[in-house]
Copies of this chain bind each other. A is one copy, B any other.
Amino acid sequence: MKEEAVLLEKNPEKKVEAREAVPCIMPDLRVQIGSLALRNPVMTASGTFGYAREFENLVNLDRLGGIIVKGISLHPKPGNPPPRIVETACGMLNAIGLENVGVDRFITGKMPYLRKLTTPVVVNILGDSVEEYSEIARKLDGAEGIAALEINISCPNVKKGGVAFGTVPEMAAKVTEAVRRSTTLPLIVKLSPNVTDIVVMARAVEDAGADAVSLINTLIGMSIDPITRRPRLANVIGGLSGPAIKPVALRMVWQVAQAVSLPVIGIGGITTAADALEFLLAGASAVQVGTANFYDPSAAESIVQGLTSYLQEQGEDCLVDIIGTLKTGTD
Within 8 Å CB of A274, what residues of B?
226
Binary interface encoding of chain A residues 12-31 relative to chain B, with 1 for a CB under 8 A from any of its CBs, else 0: 00100000000000000000
User: A226–B278 contact, CB under 8 A?
Assistant: yes
The answer on a CB contact under 8 Å between A224 and B250 is yes
Chain A, interface size category, equals 35 or more
**Distance of A41 from chain B, by nearest CB (Å):** 14
* Residue A58 interfacial (CB < 8 Å): no
Which residues on B sit within 8 Å (CB–CB) of A221? Answer: 246-248, 250-251
Stretch at the interface among A46-54, A83-91, A122-130, A145-153: A83-91
Looking at the complex, which of A67-75, A171-179, A206-214, A227-235 is the stretch in contact with chain B? A227-235
CB of A66 closer than 8 Å to a CB of B: no
Interface residues of A in 170-220 (CB under 8 A from B): 194-196, 219-220
Q: Report the Cα distance A205→B268, complex, angstroms.
A: 32
Q: Assess whether A222 is in contact with B282, with CB atoms less than 8 Å apart.
A: yes
Q: Tell me the complex Cα distance, A224–B282, Å.
A: 8
Q: Does A260 contact B (CB under 8 A)?
A: no
Q: Mark A265-283, 1 if CB is under 8 A from B, else 0.
A: 0000100001001100110
What separation, in Å, do the CA atoms of A268 and B149 have in the docked complex?
A: 36
CA distance A251 to B11 in the complex (A): 41
* Cβ of A203 to closest chain B Cβ, rounded Å: 16
Give bound CA distance, A250 to B237, whole Å. Answer: 10
Interface assignment of A57: CB less than 8 Å from any CB of chain B: no
Find chain B residues with CB under 8 A from A14 CB: 227
Among the 9-residue stretches A32-40, A132-140, A293-301, A322-330, the one with 4 or more Cβ atoms under 8 Å from chain B is A322-330
> In whole Å, how far is A228's beta carbon from the nearest beta carbon of chain B?
8
| 28 CB-based A-B contacts, threshold 8 Å | A7-B226, A8-B227, A11-B227, A88-B243, A89-B90, A89-B91, A91-B244, A91-B247, A93-B247, A196-B196, A219-B248, A220-B251, A221-B246, A221-B250, A221-B251, A222-B254, A224-B250, A224-B278, A226-B278, A226-B281, A228-B327, A229-B322, A229-B325, A230-B328, A231-B328, A236-B328, A240-B248, A244-B247
- Beyond A89-B90, A229-B281: 17 further Cβ-contacts under 8 Å? A7-B226, A7-B227, A88-B247, A89-B269, A91-B244, A91-B247, A219-B248, A220-B251, A223-B247, A224-B282, A226-B274, A229-B326, A231-B328, A243-B244, A244-B244, A244-B245, A244-B247
